[in-house]
Structure 1
Amino acid sequence: MEETMVNLNSGWQLHESRLDVDKNQWASVLAQKEDWYDCSLPADVRMPLLENGVIREPLKADYCFESEWIEKRAWWFKKEFDSAEVDFDDDIIQLILEGLDSRADIFVNGNYIGTHVSVHYPFVYDIKGLLVEGTNTILVRVTTGLEEVTDKDLAELNYAVCTEYDNGGKYRSDKRRAFVRRPQYTVGWDWGPKVVSCGITGGARLEGHRQIALREVYVQTVEAAETAKLKIMLNIENLGFISSRTGAYKIRISYDGKTVYERSCSDVLLTSGYNYIEEEAVIENAQLWWPNGYGSQPLYDVEVEASCNGATEHWHKMRYGIRTISIDTSVISGEDRKFEFLVNGKKVFCKGGNWIPNDFIYARVTDEKYRALIDEAIEANFNMLRIWGGGLYERDLFYELCDERGIMLWHDFMFACATLPDHRQQFREEIRREFDYQTKRLRNHCSLALFCGSNEVHWLFNHLDNPRWGIEFSYEHAYGMSLMNILAKEIIHANCPSVAYWNSSPYGGERPNDNSLGDIHHWNCAFMSQKMEERIEAKDYDKIGAKFVSEYGYVGPCCRETIEEYMDGQPLDRSSKLWWWHSNVFEKGTVHTAIEKNYVDHADELPLDDYITYGGLVHGLMYGYSLESMKFKEHCYGGLIWMYNDAWGEVGWTIIDYYLRRKIPFYAVKRSLAHRKFAMRVVDGDVILQGINDLPEAMEVTGRFGWISFDGKEQELRDVSFRVEAGERTYLLREKLPQKDFTKGTMVLYVDSPEIANAWLRMDDMRKLAVPEAEVTCLEDRREGDDRIIRVTCNTFAHAVHVDGNWKCSDNYFDLLPGEEKTFTVKDARENALTVSAVNWQSM
């Protein structure tokens, strides 16, 4: 007899009531015959309300204000199921409710079975003794949990919770969030509105177990080599309270359909309760897992079953990547230490972005959206995403996709920009259960590179950097530090000791955000500087001395189609309150000032399409140049943009917008993070050429290097050849910068290989360069399936060559050097008319 699982996701109903209708009034709610909305799980309460026309889409225009009342109500979910779906011969029948957001009271057949106060781990209860023949009813009362928090509670934290009040975002804040284990971002952040989530945002099921329950399977890579060694741990629970039993288990590991390891035991003694069993597996000719670019991502199938007295339990079929990941923090010199990720003992430069939940109504995010975003991250040459601590532990599919595609994960625990009431025992126990559940859930994913204690808690609330909060840490009142400094380490040491841990982000050195070691968030002398010139100067990123930049950013507009969609028919007036509602609160006129610095005067008078183009190009400049600068530094080991994806539509940080349309900077980031490329910088009057090769094979190229004028008429080029070893960043040449007018030309590298981009030295803002108005020539335009293959050239330098319209291209908004030919693909263009042109700002 196998374990039983009953999916309860369909057939729910939702009812609303006043907040003061509490759990003691469950019977009166259940007696209501009207005003129930049909729904399925996962469900934020807004989803059935939208479906039934009760509210308008809160992420469009300013409609979020129309549904603020939702957080001030109680919401009752009801589900009926028939006893025929369960097996009463099972020893236990557990009800599992995932994603209870955020305070929930649960009833089965009128019996109150518990209150749950965290979205971050599931509610589990054995309901066998409460079930009846025929119809059974589950009733769940859900609220946001914010209503439970008082001003007295906040005073215990010295009110030390960051909000957007100081940044002009008074409608994007709620200090009460620090006390509620809910997705923090839904109370509003600099990049989004207050749309407080509430509902059953995960799945619901019944699990029946007989004799035993297979509770855990943990696979660790001990040695990643041609002959790999794995450690496998099983936890089999004997459900007999007083009796030992004899059981059996089988482990099978296969690759490409062929068994590479098999182990079985038919007479294991199972004492009452948990039984931990460890095995070692040796895998010959092991196929190792690598991050995107550094190699392939082979995954092994791991199958485990346990049995006892005719009852059999199966662990869900697991796909496992054989690899080791560690962090080299050895001394460079003095106080400086490395912060370099090693995969299978090989150094890896971490490149990518910060990941946030994909929607303020996150329960409605589709599997297709997850797949599209991971596909686009791979297209942009990412090998790492940082799961930001103000969001969610993502659903299983996300981690599976990262395993499959080679995306390493820097994974924050879910704390962000707030002190925490860890002096309260109940709160500490909630976090202990959360840590325990999530570390066990995620530890088998080969994509998991690091757990991190929080987002910015150490940095924002230490008395050295921010004395205004009046925080004095102590063991009795640690304001959250005990969770990140002690509890998280205890849990990780017990549950997944091979996973690296870092106390917070940023963290390292005498003060968090220290360049000497660890990671930094590069904000105060960049986009969040009080000095506008520091916000918009790309070359300032050459000054970064950090070992790992885990967060920094710049904002820019979305495409017209997206703007029209989220403005929902309202005037596209850039001076309107609605426009600014859909703008990051830190923007503060940065976009138009940067346009004026780089391109044209009077940016506020530009037509919308020109504003989008120039704003997007500056956005791309800032991201592309900065990422290149970080990789150029010998002792910088990673750069992650803030942020990759979006939760609604706005003038904001991302390179992919909420509707999955690429923004202009997508292409600049893709070029900057190319697995093979060249970059140039000027250091102390010398031009230095760097070669980058992330791929597992050596790179050998020939080409021409030297000076060329932007009109192409003056050329001083020489033949060169270079070799860059696999996985290396190498300075290939250094020579004095020639005495030339760099407003009229620049240093270039023409690469003979069409797979590797040419490189040029950008010495000043575009508007200060004597670049002629370019006329791009199309040499070839042919169809290949549904795609179009286009080859272009230009006799002069051409800036931001692009296909008009919102097409997905293999490259777009790229620069052409004089005489350069470039071939690129326009996806799904078929027979549509396409126009290719450069951006010419000179005559505006």
Structure 2
Amino acid sequence: MNEQLILNKWNLLGKDLKIKAEVPGDITIDMYNAGKVSNPYILENYKDSTWVGRENFTYECEFDVPSPSFAKESQVLVFEGIDLFSIIYLNGIKIGETKNAFLEYRFDVKNALKEKNNLLQVKMISTLNEADKINTDGYNVIFNKPRIFLRKPQCHFGWDWAPKICAYGIIGKVYLESKERFQIEDVHYKADDKGNLSFFIKTNYTTETLFRPDGSVAKQGESKKDDKLVFRLAKTPFGNDFDTYEIPLEGKKNFLALKYRDFALWWPTGYGEQPLYNYVIDLYRDNKKVDTKQGYFAFRSVSLLEEAKGNNLLGMDFLINNKKIFLKGSNWVPPEFFTGVMKDEKYKKMIALAKEMNINMLRVWGGGSYEKDIFYSLCDKYGILVWQDICLACADIPEDNQEFVSNLLKEVEYQVKRLRNHPCLVYWCGGNEKTGTYGNLINKGDFLVNCLLYGVIYNLDDTRPYSRQSPHSYTDVGNDYRSGDTHYGNFEYALDHGMADYRKYISKKNVPFVSECAVMGPSSEESLRKIFGNDHIWPMDEMWKDRFMENPYGISPLDFPHRELFYAEDMYGKVDGITSFVKKASLAHAEALRAEFEYTRANRHISGAFLNWMFDDIWPSGTWAILDYYLEPKQAYYALKNSYRPRLASFYEDKDGFTHVFFDNSTNIPYSGKLIFGAKKYDGKSLFEKEVKLENVLDDVFDLKLDFKVTDFDAYFFAKFLDDGEEIKTLYSPYMWRNHSFASDFDYNVEQIDSKHIKIHIKANSFAKSLFINFKDNYRYSFSSNYIDLEKGDEAIVDINSEEDIDLSSLNLTSF
């Protein structure tokens, strides 16, 4: 029925150039692989390859078509993505052109195709040269003005964490699709939390004749030949035992509606399971199966609750299956600057790391890309909710340009249809930080985000909420923390006021929905050495400033690396080298993010969400991300992993300077048990200890103001409870571990499970702070925990796995 011929043998031609090309891929990386440019990922080498974006190139592919495929009635050449401008020829015949990297292009090539010796040419036209022709007068934009007219990742023109390289090339699969003439064009389903299920099927033909008002024939339908749709729907999650339903084909649009009596609900991770039901839909004509579509569906509902939270605050909470969900998440940016070279394996590792971190929402940020299908499928599997921005960011939107609007709306229609069947997707947003976000200046784009986008999206998908922008509010200022979602944090404020009172800054506001909390910290020393090499690793020089980029919103004169240095030294004293810098700046990053989140969680009767900025890096760097480009988690990753756990006992400081202990149970199962908390000296001396009994804690946070204050820098609070038999312990310093030198005396031994799996048993002979386990090529290893805090006498077991044999000779344990 449906046969695909993947076209994967390509050459790239340019001026005096012919090299092999990878498709999907990127021209700059093809040049690097051919030795034409230096490695763009390290040092300042990316500057040496910027000329690539100024040249025109041609991809060529020769192919034959197998005889059975060539005999099919329908021949469509599919490009899953081209970035950006191109003209496409098959056997010398122009079949189309492209101007949107977020669209799939499908070209009917029946009349141009040959069975043998086909030549496909994709003539790439320089994005940068086309950008130079654009008149940008009258638009407010940051980073790069022409970019707002170009439908490709906006961060490709430079951002405060991305370089100025214009990625360029065929970024998606290319294949010939040979099919029968009669086809299923689209499958869309709706399912709720009550077992209601509807499928909406669109075919590319109808057997019905269309008549004009005067009775004459406007369009003759195809002859009727017992055309029907056969649905096979799984009885149980993941099963292949199906119930079968048949309906006659009534036209291009058809539907099946039914109700499941026995079904399981899909929940975000931490709140339940993620049951997915398989389906297969076949189109029959003249008793012959002519097309088939298959996938899965899930039963769940989503809605947005906005209700008064007191103190003139309007809340924003997501309800899944009518249950209020506290969102613990992060902002996802493109994990690879050169879009086409991103591999499925990297998606698998990254989403697994998000799941292990207890993340239940990822926001796909609007300055990047709509992600590949595998991203959303993995989020369906793991129960990670997805907030999807339309790909617009930090600028006016040229709604007064008809060609731009038409191009954008085609993109939105395509992406909504592509993504709406994923249960993980719960929110559409019209973009990131449009003009008006941080002040009253609103120039162009409000009609587009308020009306056009909303209308197109709601028409195609009325099951999910939509918001015009992030941030948004109900006042003139988009980033007004009293309503909607807010980009909020205290790290910038601390540049002027110091880190000593960081907890006090946090306690000044309760924000209903934190959609970006930006805190900065370095990558590991090993990762930084890859980036800078030995000649530039220390002291910080101009390469550091260039590599870490800069933020046009910032008012501080400090560049990004020196901001990290300031935070490190203000918190933990003088930095004397790269090792010292990474240790101190990493701890500052982790403690600040942890403090921001745990205050938000303790006050979740007001706050519905906390999403840190950001989860990942687009290229090797060392600023906002908690997972670096090489996929090595930073200390902040492990700090949030502990704080994001479904059940948490910890502490926070209120606006009057008092410490509170709290317990939160963000699950669907009530918790009863003992909460033990107190304070100790680092030498193990107890200052106080109390025990409270928790009874059926679920939707309300247990919160207790303490009458005890830790006044010495060598003391800390602790809290512990049993969760399914495992002791969960939290250690908390009101001073974020400042002004103390840790002896960190510990012993450890290694238990070898097999060549790719070990357990490390650790015992602390004195208080051990931020105990870091690492190997050479540390990104290759998976740790159940790292950067561990242990009280005197405590023991810990850390599971370590690797896809390759573990190199025990490079094992190293260090501490703060």
Q: Is the 8 A contact 1:676 1:692 kept in 2?
A: yes
Match of 1:397 in 2: 374
- The one of 14, 17, 38 equivalent to 1:16 is 14
Give the aligned residue type for 1:66: D
Match of 2:249 in 1: 268
Match of 2:96 in 1: 114
Deviation at 1:548, TM superposition (A): 1.0
Deviation at 1:688, TM superposition (A): 2.6
Deviation at 1:209, TM superposition (A): 3.9
Match of 1:25 in 2: none
Is 1:630 matched with 2:600? yes
Give the aligned residue type for 2:642: R
Is 1:92 matched with 2:74? yes
Q: Kindly tell me: are residues 437 and 188 of structure 1, through their superposed partners in 2, closer, same or farther at Cα, counting changes over 3 Å? A: same
Runs of 4+ in 1 over 6 A off after TM superposition: none
Matches within 5 A, 1:115-154: 115-132=97-114, 134-150=116-132, 153-154=135-136
- The one of 753, 776, 787 equivalent to 2:757 is 787
Q: Is the 8 A contact 2:512 2:609 kept in 1?
A: yes
Q: Kindly tell me: are residues 176 and 772 of structure 1, through their superposed partners in 2, closer, same or farther at Cα, counting changes over 3 Å? A: closer
Q: Kindly tell me: are residues 685 and 831 of structure 1, through their superposed partners in 2, closer, same or farther at Cα, counting changes over 3 Å? A: closer
Is 1:697 matched with 2:669? yes
Partners of 2:679 and 2:561 in 1: CA distance: 39
Matches within 5 A, 1:364-379: 364-379=341-356
Secondary structure, counterpart of 2:4 in structure 1: strand
Deviation at 1:89, TM superposition (A): 5.1
Match of 1:563 in 2: 528
- The one of 175, 194, 200 equivalent to 1:233 is 200
Q: Is the 8 A contact 1:355 1:643 kept in 2?
A: yes
Secondary structure, counterpart of 1:783 in structure 2: strand
Q: Is the 8 A contact 2:393 2:432 kept in 1?
A: yes
- The one of 538, 542, 555 equivalent to 1:573 is 538
Encode CA deviations 1:17-40: one digit per residue, 9 max, x unaligned.
5xxxxxxxxxxxxxxxx7322224
Matches within 5 A, 1:171-570: 174-221=144-191, 223-225=192-194, 228-238=195-205, 242-246=220-224, 247-254=227-234, 255-259=237-241, 261-265=243-247, 267-270=248-251, 275-309=252-286, 312-333=289-310, 335-460=312-437, 465=439, 467=441, 471-472=442-443, 479-510=444-475, 511-522=477-488, 525-527=490-492, 531=496, 533=498, 537-568=502-533, 570=535
Is 1:105 matched with 2:72? no
Partners of 2:666 and 2:39 in 1: CA distance: 44
Deviation at 1:498, TM superposition (A): 0.2
Partners of 2:26 and 2:666 in 1: CA distance: 42
Match of 1:730 in 2: 701
Secondary structure, counterpart of 2:111 in structure 1: helix
Encode CA deviations 1:616-637: one digit per residue, 9 max, x unaligned.
1111111222111211112111
Encode CA deviations 1:234-271: one digit per residue, 9 max, x unaligned.
00121786333431111112134343542112x4244x
Match of 1:6 in 2: 5
Give the aligned residue type for 1:557: P
Segments of structure 1 that go 5 or more residues without pairing to the other structure are 18-33, 164-173, 473-478, 840-844
Number of residues of Structure 1 aligned to a counterpart in Structure 2: 781
Partners of 1:682 and 1:529 in 2: CA distance: 17
Q: Is the 8 A contact 2:717 2:732 kept in 1?
A: yes
- The one of 786, 789, 809 equivalent to 1:812 is 786
Partners of 2:206 and 2:291 in 1: CA distance: 16
Q: Percent identity?
A: 25
Encode CA deviations 1:704-753: one digit per residue, 9 max, x unaligned.
33333332224322333223534x35124334x22663434344324355
Q: Is the 8 A contact 1:244 1:269 kept in 2?
A: no
- The one of 621, 626, 634 equivalent to 1:663 is 634
Is 1:589 matched with 2:562? yes
Deviation at 1:480, TM superposition (A): 2.4
Partners of 1:366 and 1:112 in 2: CA distance: 31
Secondary structure, counterpart of 1:128 in structure 2: coil
Partners of 1:141 and 1:518 in 2: CA distance: 45
Q: Is the 8 A contact 2:747 2:763 kept in 1?
A: yes
Q: Kindly tell me: are residues 796 and 82 of structure 1, through their superposed partners in 2, closer, same or farther at Cα, counting changes over 3 Å? A: closer
Match of 1:826 in 2: 800
Q: Kindly tell me: are residues 831 and 109 of structure 1, through their superposed partners in 2, closer, same or farther at Cα, counting changes over 3 Å? A: closer
Secondary structure, counterpart of 2:142 in structure 1: coil
Secondary structure, counterpart of 2:411 in structure 1: helix
Q: Is the 8 A contact 2:504 2:657 kept in 1?
A: no
Is 1:53 matched with 2:52? no
Q: Kindly tell me: are residues 334 and 812 of structure 1, through their superposed partners in 2, closer, same or farther at Cα, counting changes over 3 Å? A: closer
Is 1:681 matched with 2:658? no
Indicate the RMSD between aligned Cα atoms, in angstroms.
Answer: 2.6
Q: Kindly tell me: are residues 707 and 62 of structure 1, through their superposed partners in 2, closer, same or farther at Cα, counting changes over 3 Å? A: closer
Partners of 2:80 and 2:564 in 1: CA distance: 42
Give the aligned residue type for 2:399: D
Q: Kindly tell me: are residues 815 and 39 of structure 1, through their superposed partners in 2, closer, same or farther at Cα, counting changes over 3 Å? A: same
Segments of structure 2 that go 5 or more residues without pairing to the other structure are 208-218, 552-559
Q: Is the 8 A contact 1:261 1:283 kept in 2?
A: no
Secondary structure, counterpart of 2:350 in structure 1: helix
Partners of 2:276 and 2:660 in 1: CA distance: 40
Partners of 1:98 and 1:837 in 2: CA distance: 47
Q: Is the 8 A contact 1:330 1:337 kept in 2?
A: yes
Match of 2:587 in 1: 617
Q: Is the 8 A contact 1:439 1:495 kept in 2?
A: yes
Q: Is the 8 A contact 1:213 1:239 kept in 2?
A: no
- The one of 118, 134, 140 equivalent to 1:160 is 140
Q: Kindly tell me: are residues 715 and 795 of structure 1, through their superposed partners in 2, closer, same or farther at Cα, counting changes over 3 Å? A: farther
Match of 2:210 in 1: none
